[in-house]
Structure 1
Amino acid sequence: MAGLTTGLSAKVAAASLSAVALAGAAFAVPAQAATVTPQQAAGGAPQSQISNLQVTPEVASRTWFEKFGNDPRVLKLQASSPAMGGRQIPLAVIPAGEPNRPTIYLLNGAGSAEQNSDWLSMSDVVNFYADKKVNVVVPQAGAFSYYTDWNVSPESNYLRGPQKWETFLTKELPGPLEARLQANNKRAIAGMSMSATSSLLLAQHNPGFYDAVGSFAGCAQTAYPAQYEFLRLTVNRGGGQPEQMWGPMGSPTNRYNDAFLNAAKLRGTELYISSATGLASATDLPGYHMARGVDPLVAHIGSAQLIVEGGVIEAAVNNCTHNFKAKLDQLGIPADYNFRNAGTHSWPGWHQDLERSWATFWRAFYAK
């Protein structure tokens, strides 16, 4: 699913986060601790080389770097990907500030940092995690890639060269990066929209590697007709086709990358899963934004886009997510759910997820 990137969204993202209750999540039965090390997950794969970020003109122009380039709370690093021909991936890292702490891999949505629709540009992630004593790693690339390994590179727009994001994120990066951060062997992976799907898949493909997963408004189903076309809507924006990514609908690779079909592989992992109904909430209406200084014309145009486009996307996500809950319930796999009665496919809901998911991650890291 594509995250909405509008001028209005940026205004919303700049607003301070409201306090949210963590009740309920903290009382779920804890899962088993992850036991697989980065070296075991890598299985002999070549490793990333970690270095300080080379600030190219392209990097310097990104919103996230303009905001945090001189902020000492954010480490600006880069990591090579042997599987992607040595490509250098920018990393924004919020360090724990002390050794032997867990790591959260926080993935961006469809447009990622390439379209300035990333966590650092559009949310309060740095302030929120600054005092949590956990390492937070945000790869600042990967637009429209689903953070997966593609069968064929589209060689178009954002998707040029080998697209081997799962290999990078699960085999090449964790070992050297966590060693540099002096992290322990506890970790979580989370994402919103497009990468909410990816987070579930990477955990399923690497059992025992992640203690927790956060899926914020994503669709677990990918090997079904309507949901396969959802993939197309997203990867088309980057110049690709789902057939290039995972092969034809229902193919073995497509089914392997369907988190609904493979839900049983999440047993033992702490889960936080969210979606809204797609109905407009207070934060989607023009008056909310005009009260915060947004130009009335911008507020009305942005709200119309959120209510129509964002509403349709989130309604589809909501259907996927309730189907996924039914599957997990059938399997007896618990999760912390945040089903919002209103809200479109936009940043205010993901702001809430950023905060509420911390109870799930904390339990996975410290209650075992």
Structure 2
Amino acid sequence: MRWAGAIAGALVFAASLPAVPVAVAEGARITGIEHVNDRWDKVSVFSPSMNKVIVNDVFKAGRGGAPTFYLLPGIDGGDNLDPGGMWAPGTKSWFGMADIAGFFADKNVNVVSPLGGQFSWFTDWVADPGKQYQTYMTRELPPLIDAEYDTNGRNAVGGLSSTGGTAVDYAVQAPGVYRAVGSYSGLLTPAANPQQVSITLMGGGASADAMWGPAGGPLWVAHDPSLNVAKLRGVAVYVAASGSGNVGAVDRLPPGFGPNITGGLIERIVADSTRVFADNAAAAGIPVTYVVRPDGSHTWGLFESEMQESWNTTIGPALRA
């Protein structure tokens, strides 16, 4: 494990940030709440920017006045995209693949994870009005959660794989909304890796040009966390990936699974991307928590472990500060 940046410095900056109230976007509203159990709700929210309803898993804090930790889904939006898979819709998600209830049971925080957004990168698209997820996550959803669950207005956000860089980008695009961000094996250098973005989106029949315009254009630069590190000053940042991409105990794969060739390849790509981001942050004097895991092959086991570590080292302290 290798650390770069100053954790303490990041937390000092985060502590200086007041909670920034976000006005409810006109037309955004909660349309229904399903109580799964005493701590777990499924909250349906109408997004005016996309003209559709988004379902959000919510693990409720034990008492009012708590902060909120948002967790973005991966490229599949929480649904199974693997032929022959056994996951029901909406269960290949943070609440279905990670022990959210167990880990956060004794922590006074609301945990919210939107579902859907397949092949969207969870950002705003220039040529698809049905994909305006940055607007949803920075203007529409947080104020509704704040009002419904009596929060203290302090927010953090984390993302995995395709949405890891997006979570960090939210702090760049909407200053003050998120005081802490986490990237779990995410791509933090999209402008330098447009082919990786394009290949990922093509898996769902989507075009990267429809997202941020032609590769190399101004929106690719504007949404690249590694090129906008100076805008993260004052935000507590956690970024991590496995340096080897090798299968390890952290992956929690079945015995005899064998090498995870595709996952290992992806993990090594995002590890290099995460290193570039951390180096750029260090050069700019921006403190971040940067972790290189010894093993892990781009699996839910790795993502969950990174998320828990981010809470313990960076996000939890920033939200409590």
User: Deviation of residue 258 (structure 1)?
Assistant: 1.1
Kindly provide the amino acid, as one letter, of the partner of residue 30 in structure 1: V
1:112-123 alignment, distance < 5 Å:
112-115=77-80, 116-123=91-98
Secondary structure (helix, strand or coil) at the match of 2:225 reads: coil
Matched, 1:30 2:12: yes
Once the two structures are aligned, what percentage of the paired residues are identical? 32
Q: Tell me, in whole angstroms, the C-alpha distance in 1 between the residues paired with 2:112 and 2:197.
A: 25
Report the secondary structure of 1:365's partner residue: helix
Select the residue among 96, 104, 112 that pairs with 1:129.
104
1:182 counterpart = 2:150? yes
Kindly provide the CA deviation profile for residues 309-360 of structure 1, in whole angstroms up to 9, marking residues without a partner as x: 0111011111101111110001111111221122211122112112111121
1:75 and 2:41 equivalent? yes
Which is higher, the Rg of structure 1 or of structure 2? 1
Higher helix share: 1
Shift of 1:151: 1.1
- 2:113 maps to 1:138: yes
Number of residue equivalences:
303
- Residue in 2 that maps onto 1:365: 319
Q: For the Cα contact (< 8 Å) 1:278–1:313, is it kept in 2?
A: no
Which aligned pairs between 1:214-293 and structure 2 lie closer than 5 A?
214-224=182-192, 227-283=193-249, 289-290=254-255
Which whole-Å CA distance do the structure 2 matches of 1:35 and 1:95 have between them? Answer: 19
Supply the distance in 1 between the matched residues of 2:218 and 2:246 (Cα, whole angstroms).
Answer: 38
Equivalent residue letter for 2:309: R
Alpha-carbon distance, 1:242 to partner: 0.6
Give how far 1:26 is off.
6.8
| Distance in structure 2 (CA, Å) of the matches to 1:30 and 1:234 | 37
Which of 97, 103, 108 aligns to 2:73? It is: 108
Unaligned runs of at least 5 residues, structure 1: 1-23, 55-68, 154-160, 291-298
In the alignment, what sits opposite 1:167? 135
CA distance change for structure 1 residues 276 and 34 in 2, over 3 Å: closer, same or farther?
Answer: farther
Aligned to 2:64: 99
Paired amino acid for 2:105: A
| Alignment correspondent of 2:32 | 52
CA offsets 1:45-65 (integer angstroms, 9 cap, x no match): 4242113247xxxxxxxxxxx
User: Which deviations, in whole Å up to 9, do the C-alpha atoms of 1:245-267 show, x marking residues without a partner?
Assistant: 00011111121111111111111
Letter in 2 for 1:339: V
Q: Secondary structure at the match of 1:223?
A: helix
Structure-2 residue corresponding to 1:203: 171
Residue 22 of structure 2 contacts residue 143 of structure 2 at CA under 8 Å; is this kept in 1? yes
Distance 1:97 1:106 in 2: 19
Structure 2 Cα separation of the partners of residues 280 and 172 of structure 1: 39
Does the CA-based 8 Å contact 1:277-1:344 persist in structure 2?
no
Letter in 1 for 2:116: A
TM-score by length of 1: 0.77
CA distance in 1, matches of 2:254, 2:226: 37
1:192 to 135, 160, 164: 160
Indicate conservation of the 8 Å contact 1:47/1:175, yes or no: no
Q: Residue type of the partner of 1:189? A: V
CA contact (8 A) 2:7 2:287 kept: no
Partner Cα separation in structure 2 for residue 131 and residue 347 of structure 1: 22
5+ long unaligned stretches in structure 2: 81-90
